[in-house]
Amino acid sequence: MSDFGRLVRAEWTKFRTVRGWVLGTVAAALVTVLLGLFVASNSISSCSNGTVDIECPALPLGPDGQPVRDKFFFVHRTLAGDGAITVRVTSMQGVITYPPPDHDKIVPGLVEWSKAGVIAKVGTAEGSRYVALMVTAEHGVRMQHDFVHDTAGRPGAVSAGTPRWLRLTRAGDRVTGEESADGAAWTEVGTATLAGPVELGLFVTSPSDLTVNNGAGGGSVQARLATATATFDNVTATGTPPGDDWRRDDVGAELNPDGTLHHPGGVEQAGGVLTVSGNGDIAPLAGESGPGVQLVLIGLVVGLIVVIVVAAVNGSGELRRGLIGVTLLASPRRGRVVAAKAVVLGAVAFVTGTAAAALVIPLAWAVLTDNGFRQPGLPLPTLVRVAVGTGLLVAGTALLALGLGLLLRRGLAAVGLAVAVVVLPYLMAVIGGLPPAAAEWLLRLTPAAAFAIQQVVPEYAHVLAGYTPASGYYPLPAWAGLAVLAGYAALALGLATARLRRSDV
Amino acid sequence: MEPTIEVTGLRKRYGRTVALDGMSCTVRPGHVTGFVGPNGAGKSTTMRVVLGLAAPDAGTALVGGVPYRTLRRPLTHVGALLDAGALQPSRSARNHLLWLARSQGFAARRVDEVLEQTGLGGAGRRRAGGFSLGMRQRLGIAAALLGDPPVLMLDEPFNGLDPEGIVWMRGLLGTLAAQGRAVLVSSHLMSELQHIAAHVVIIGRGRVLADTTVSELLAAAPSLEEAYFALTRDAVDFRGEAAR
Amino acid sequence: MSRVLYAEWTKLRTEPAALWLVPCFVVVTVLMSLFAVASASCGQGGCGIDPAVLSLAGVQLGQALVVLPAVLTIGGEHSTGLLRTTLTATPRRIVVLAAKAVLTGGLALVAGTAAVLGCVAVGRAVLPGNGIAALSLTDGPMLRATAGSVLYLVLIGLLALGVAAVIRDAAASAGAVLALLYAVPLIAAVINDPELQRTLRRFAPMTAGLAVQATTDLQRQPIGPWAGLAVLAAWSAAALLCGGLAFRLRDP
């Protein structure tokens, strides 16, 4: 065995022969799992049909299995093979309805991501595949397909003076979107594939008008019903069966208890001019999308405190008791001693975190499903990613605490500092009632940035939602968050090594 | 490679306090060398410098001709007892020796051998934090013997030992020296050293006052203690009024 | 008692680590509040911000720095064996613990007053610029929130001292106290059973104690301001009682 291998083995023997440290590590995993299950079993989903409690309806799922919102007004014909639809959009307007009782008023206005355009969709069921080309209120022409894909076209809003021509053409499986300002010069926006018979037609929809208050309480999100209305003319469809009528569907509309449609859209036709209005969205579900990984991993916070205590005391105890003298007699090269300690503690913490996450996420999710939640479980690759990420988060935290313990030589100071920089920022950002802007800065600058591994649903630029830490959205991507934590841990271990090298023991 | 400890011109100061002031001496194999001097004379500092735990401001310290920090499996070259209290209290004695053995690539069997050798065979599974000072000394000796080293450095090995333990230690040191090892023993117990040491290094204020055989000292003074007081008269920092 | 108190004070003021934590605590608390109020903003029509809670947000972080010196007064003496010397000088152990409690509480009172007043000043200076009206100390509810926050910090210090007397190891005690303080509100925040949520918030030391900071929407708080502080006081008293028993009965 190599010198370093022997050293790692010695440090592992040291770790496993102190009962408190082994029990602490097991306790950290156990508390993470048990708190997750406790929280899951006390989270109940209830839905009501006006006055009567009913089982919550299943969420519509997109082609990749993620929950989606798929509600719009649809004027369509069936297209079996090749074909195209061309329209001209000449106006787009909207109204925003403030809910009773405080702001019961209706004001004109368009939400920035309200959409009007042409769409080819596999049937009218929510969550089915589609390709759409649209104008938006503030983001110009966009081509979107299958909920998560978004390509930008010509910017600018639509009006009678600046109309937009939109054309979707299918040849084989290939759907091409083109736009034009005058109906003569066309520009390609993008392409996508869509096979089989599709419904081809016009659509209008508008997401709710959101206000994210940057206030205490983690910020609050207010949503108001918004309806968009667009005017289409020069509508031509090719490839559809001759004599096929334009059919109308309020895709995804909910029913009121009396059987009427809740917030219906509509269409009016005058000659060749169609005025279509709708509300909803065609987008992945984001923001307040129900309990997620953050909920079932909540016990990790307590588990991390336990791991911090074990790791910090592991580092400081060696120096406080003069045990480091014995260690350095056995292996005089000091940098290697720190490295061997880091390898052992990091590995133990990584296994602990990974195992705890891999156990609690599926278990707690099963409990949540029993309690009426309709979120689909994490796909295996995502579960593996989150479990490994959790392991890295726990390992990075342990290394930071070890480094602080070796550097400060006082277990208490190291525990206090590690908890203050890893756990507290997360708590304050997620539940501490900090304004979202402050919370995001905490999750960028402190080691708590690594909690970003808990975010499994990405933030979509083309979907309006309250993307706040309190609802599970982190300002940094997972790898960057882990890198921030790793940087702090490396700094602490580096300073500890430098101090150990320079000092007499 | 001859098992020796060679210290040449060691200087070290802690702030304004001079700990070592040109310390030079050589410890040879085959006998016990006593290392004596008043409190604060620099005995422990010298040992720590030799073992690479403290860095000297000047001078060199070699074990078997090389600096300690360059040894690949140091416990097979040097065994040392410095601070018997340097333990994780909740770890058992056997496990304390086990991790040391792992760091050198020794089998666990070696741990049981040294536990038996130091009379801790029955106490190996107990937590070291509950040990008396005498038992901790035995555990420290066990750690020093783990690698069967040709050089031994023991700081105050008689501390806290019961009468039986003192007799055992006396015998052990004699045996180790007779096996051809270099054995350096620091102690304040002159009468004890007079019996077991053949050579003695007396230091004061960080430098060597005498580096000679015990028989030579006894030729000039009635006892080792008398010789010590005569040599260290001017080199003592702390002395109560009643003492001499 | 006064001699013991004087001895404890001498120990404390000659221990630089504990004293360093006091200015650290004040600075961290005020900075955290500054961070919170500076980043708050409100859309038109108000957003239900409680200016007192926002201004005093630093207490949530700063309390950790009250916990540390509190557990150190006992844990530190245990790890070095100094406690044996202390108890040789003062064999009446309850008197020793009482002196430590008086000292911890007194220190938290002084440092807490400085920190909380700093938070209030920061709130008054910054909040109006963000379109949120700050309250003055002459308003009854704001005075209650301010004085209550200081008392909150004192009670947290005593709670930590009691826990440390039971667990003895400083680092483990700090971990236990911090987990107790922060874990319950975290769990309460994520479960959606409103009944259990309210119960947890009503009986957890941090959420109950911090209810004293509320100045608006009092009926929406899980517990009344003073009642919440009383819940925390009960926690602290129970911890000190257990700590006192453990301190008396066990060998140092």
Q: Cβ–Cβ of A17/B80 closer than 8 Å?
A: no
- Residue C45 region, left (φ>0) first, then alpha (ψ -120 to 50), else beta? left
Residue B65, Cβ density class (10 Å: 0-12 exposed, 13-18 middle, ≥19 buried): exposed
**What's the structural domain count of chain C?**
1
- Residue A403 region, left (φ>0) first, then alpha (ψ -120 to 50), else beta? alpha
Are A78 and A197 a contacting pair, CB within 8 Å? Answer: yes
Q: Cβ–Cβ of A17/B87 closer than 8 Å?
A: no
Same domain? For A276 and A333 the reply is no
For residue A158, what pLDDT is reported? 92
Phi, psi of A289 (to 5 degrees): -100, 25
Q: Cβ–Cβ of A329/B83 closer than 8 Å?
A: no
**Mind listing the pLDDT tens digit for each residue in A367-387?**
988 888 877 788 899 899 999
Residue B54 to residues A65, A496, B155, B194: CA-CA distances in angstroms? 63, 17, 15, 30
Positive or negative torsion for Cα B162, B168, B172, B173? positive
Contacts of residue A502, Cβ cutoff 8 Å, sequence gap at least 6: none
Q: Cβ–Cβ of C192/A294 closer than 8 Å?
A: no
Burial letters A49-75, b for 16+ CB under 10 A, else e: eeeeeeeeeebbbbeeebbbbbbbbbb
Same domain? For A252 and A307 the reply is no
- Of chain A, the percentage scoring pLDDT greater than 70 comes to 94
> Rounded mean pLDDT of C66-72?
89
For residue A328, what pLDDT is reported? 93
Model confidence at A162, pLDDT cuts 50, 70, 90, reads very high
Identity of the highest mean pLDDT range in A156-160, B240-244, C34-38: A156-160
Q: Which residues, listed in sequence order, are joined to residue A133 by a DSSP beta bridge? A: A118, A143
Domain-ending residue, one of A247, A263, A284: A284
Query: Per residue, what are the HEC states of A411-451?
Result: HHHHHHHHHHHHHHHHHHHHCCCCCHHHHHHHHHHCHHHHH
For residue A321, what pLDDT is reported? 82
- Residue A433 region, left (φ>0) first, then alpha (ψ -120 to 50), else beta? left
> Rounded mean pLDDT of A93-121?
85
C53 → chain A, closest CA residue: A216
> Rounded mean pLDDT of A131-157?
94
3-state secondary structure of C40: coil
A335 touches chain B (CB under 8 A): no
Is pLDDT above 90 for A17? Answer: yes
| Angstrom distance (rounded) from CA A463 to CA A288 | 12
3-state secondary structure of A149: strand
Identity of the highest mean pLDDT range in A30-34, A241-245, A322-326, B240-244: A30-34
Model confidence at C61, pLDDT cuts 50, 70, 90, reads confident
What is the average pLDDT value for chain A, to the nearest integer?
Answer: 89
For residue B244, what pLDDT is reported? 44
| Residue of A412, A430, A431 to mutate, interface with C, max C Cβ within 10 Å | A412
What is the average pLDDT value for chain C, to the nearest integer?
Answer: 86
Same domain? For A249 and A357 the reply is no
Is pLDDT above 80 for C130? Answer: no
Question: In this structure, is residue A391 part of a structural domain?
Answer: yes
C9 touches chain A (CB under 8 A): no
| Angstrom distance (rounded) from CA B117 to CA B126 | 17
Q: How many CA atoms lie within 13 A of A362 on its CB side?
A: 11
> Helices B133-145 and B93-104 sit at what angle, rounded to 10 degrees?
20
Nearest chain A CA: its distance from C17 CA (Å): 9
> Rounded mean pLDDT of A423-447?
84
For residue A368, the enclosing domain spans: 3-42+296-455+473-502
Question: In this structure, is residue A334 part of a structural domain?
Answer: yes
Residue A386 has which token pair?
């989150």
For residue A290, what pLDDT is reported? 55
> Rounded mean pLDDT of A262-290?
85
Question: In this structure, is residue A118 part of a structural domain?
Answer: yes
For residue A241, what pLDDT is reported? 83
Q: Cβ–Cβ of A329/B80 closer than 8 Å?
A: yes
Helix ranges restricted to H, A300-457: 300-320, 323-330, 334-370, 380-408, 411-418, 424-430, 436-445
For residue C17, the enclosing domain spans: 2-249
Are B59 and B10 a contacting pair, CB within 8 Å? Answer: yes
Residue A69 to residues A114, A281, A286, A500: CA-CA distances in angstroms? 14, 6, 9, 57
- Residue pairs between chains A and C whose CB atoms are closer than 8 Å: 144
Q: How many CB atoms lie within 10 A of CB C100?
A: 26
Same domain? For A81 and A223 the reply is yes
- Of chain A, the percentage scoring pLDDT greater than 90 comes to 63
Residue C2, Cβ density class (10 Å: 0-12 exposed, 13-18 middle, ≥19 buried): exposed
Q: Cβ–Cβ of B86/A6 closer than 8 Å?
A: no
Same domain? For A25 and A126 the reply is no
Phi, psi of C27 (to 5 degrees): -65, -45
Q: Give the Cα-Cα-Cα angle B30, B35, B37 (nearest 5 degrees).
A: 165
For residue A433, what pLDDT is reported? 66
| Angstrom distance (rounded) from CA C47 to CA C40 | 10
> Rounded mean pLDDT of B191-215?
92
Is pLDDT above 90 for C76? Answer: no
| Angstrom distance (rounded) from CA A343 to CA A364 | 31
A433 touches chain C (CB under 8 A): yes
Facing B75 at nearest CB: one of A14, A330, A333: A330
Phi, psi of A308 (to 5 degrees): -60, -45
For residue A376, what pLDDT is reported? 79
| Angstrom distance (rounded) from CA C165 to CA A123 | 69
Q: Cβ–Cβ of B75/A329 closer than 8 Å?
A: yes
ipTM exceeds 0.85 = yes
**What's the structural domain count of chain A?**
2
One-letter amino acid for residue C24 of the chain:
C
Question: In this structure, is residue A58 part of a structural domain?
Answer: no
Model confidence at C240, pLDDT cuts 50, 70, 90, reads very high
Q: Give the Cα-Cα-Cα angle A248, A252, A254 (nearest 5 degrees).
A: 105
> Rounded mean pLDDT of A381-408?
96
Facing C196 at nearest CB: one of A42, A309, A313: A42
Are B232 and B202 a contacting pair, CB within 8 Å? Answer: yes
Domain-ending residue, one of A233, A262, A284: A284
Nearest to C169 by CA among A23, A312, A424: A312
Facing A302 at nearest CB: one of C57, C179, C192: C179
For residue B114, what pLDDT is reported? 96
In Å, the largest CA–CA distance within chain A is: 95
| Angstrom distance (rounded) from CA A446 to CA A448 | 5
Residue A91 to residues A115, A131, A182, A426, C226: CA-CA distances in angstroms? 12, 22, 15, 46, 59
Q: Cβ–Cβ of A412/C47 closer than 8 Å?
A: no
Phi, psi of B12 (to 5 degrees): -155, 135
**Mind listing the pLDDT tens digit for each residue in A280-310?**
999 988 765 556 788 889 899 999 999 999 9
Residue B160, Cβ density class (10 Å: 0-12 exposed, 13-18 middle, ≥19 buried): middle
A3 touches chain B (CB under 8 A): yes
Is pLDDT above 70 for A391? Answer: yes
| Angstrom distance (rounded) from CA A44 to CA A371 | 5
Is pLDDT above 90 for C126? Answer: no
Taking only residues 160 to 179 of chain A, the set having a beta carbon closer than 8 angstroms to any beta carbon of chain B reads none
Model confidence at C45, pLDDT cuts 50, 70, 90, reads very low
For residue B150, what pLDDT is reported? 96
Question: In this structure, is residue A319 part of a structural domain?
Answer: yes
CATH number of the domain encompassing residue A270: 2.60.120
Facing A13 at nearest CB: one of B48, B83, B95: B95
How big is chain C, counted in residues? 252
Is pLDDT above 80 for A46? Answer: no
Taking only residues 213 to 252 of chain C, the set having a beta carbon closer than 8 angstroms to any beta carbon of chain A reads none
Is pLDDT above 60 for A165? Answer: yes
| Angstrom distance (rounded) from CA A401 to CA A420 | 11
Is pLDDT above 70 for A217? Answer: no
Question: Among A125-134, A142-151, B18-27, C183-192, which stretch is predicted with the lowest mean pLDDT?
Answer: C183-192
Same domain? For A31 and A102 the reply is no
Chain A CB contacts of B104 below 8 Å = 6, 330
| Angstrom distance (rounded) from CA B93 to CA B136 | 9
Facing A6 at nearest CB: one of B54, B89, B104: B104
For residue A104, what pLDDT is reported? 66
Nearest chain C CA: its distance from A313 CA (Å): 7
Residue C152 has which token pair?
């909150």
Are C170 and C185 a contacting pair, CB within 8 Å? Answer: no
Model confidence at A44, pLDDT cuts 50, 70, 90, reads confident
Model confidence at B243, pLDDT cuts 50, 70, 90, reads very low
> Rounded mean pLDDT of B151-163?
94
Q: Give the Cα-Cα-Cα angle A424, A427, A428 (nearest 5 degrees).
A: 85
Is pLDDT above 80 for A235? Answer: yes
Q: Cβ–Cβ of C192/A38 closer than 8 Å?
A: no
Residue C160 to residues A416, C76, C239, C241: CA-CA distances in angstroms? 13, 13, 8, 12
**Mind listing the pLDDT tens digit for each residue in A67-93?**
899 999 999 999 999 999 999 999 999
Question: In this structure, is residue A317 part of a structural domain?
Answer: yes
For residue B25, what pLDDT is reported? 94
- Residue C217 region, left (φ>0) first, then alpha (ψ -120 to 50), else beta? left
Domain-ending residue, one of A284, A317, A335: A284
| Angstrom distance (rounded) from CA A281 to CA A208 | 8
Which has the higher per-residue pLDDT, A50 or B186? B186
A437 touches chain B (CB under 8 A): no
Chain B CB contacts of A336 below 8 Å = none
Nearest to C56 by CA among C26, C27, C36, C28: C36
Chain A CB contacts of C65 below 8 Å = 416, 420
Is pLDDT above 80 for B39? Answer: yes
Same domain? For A130 and A24 the reply is no
For residue C44, what pLDDT is reported? 45
